Amino acid sequence: MNTLHNKVAVITGSARGLGKAIAERYAALGASIVVNYSRDKASAEEVVSNITAMGAKVIAVQADVTKVKDVERLFAEAKRAFGRIDIVVANAGIELIQLPVTDFTEEQFDRVFSINVKGAYFTLQQAAREIADNGRIIYISSSTTTSPVPGMAVYGGSKTTPKYLVEILAKEIGHRGVTVNSIIPGPVENTGVFTEMGKEDPFYLELLKGSPMGRLTTVNDVADIAEFFAGDLSGFVSGQHLLVNGGSIY
């Protein structure tokens, strides 16, 4: 069985969805957890309660990843609480779907790129500065970066850029034994835009039709890979992007 005992993990955007699933998985494996949230304090407190009930150590830190000073403070508070950082998951992001290239606005572009690109870049930069030797850095990308879908130009573009940084960072800090990888989930059930989307929605049905396994990705599917990348078994895997979509065309 994998163990993350004596490890400290920082997961951005971990008050809900994929970030929550990864935080709770790491806690179940024995890691101390830094839950990050931007606005939803109530959800962050729920995650803290869940992790505390597992017997793991946990703190919640409010920080907006679009603000570099907030990112720096997030890492500083993590080290103040636990003394070190061994695992960083750059997960915070927002979606923008079903929007043709001819229709997106400057405001929409700026907001998505501010969170998904700027936020990811400075989270990964701070991770590189603060993570312990032999640590693990993981970026949560999107299958829109591998299977271009109409209406996803802004979102897919914003998730593509940090994948390049993953490969660069793996080369720049690999000498410290640190691995840097990205997870590329397919459309994830019950998260983001799918939280309120009905299962009879034409878009949902189209995605389902493209899946040979007859379902969308789940948060546990992604947490499984996050567990692998955080542990010893992936110690010589770096600069890689692992697609988790069950062979879907999306």
Residues known to be catalytic = 141-142, 155, 159
Helix (H, G, I), strand (E, B) or coil at 146: coil
- Picking from 122, 130, 133, 236, the residue whose alpha carbon sits closest to that of residue 181 is 236
CB 54 within 8 A of CB 29: no
First to last CA, the chain: 32
CB 158 within 8 A of CB 116: yes
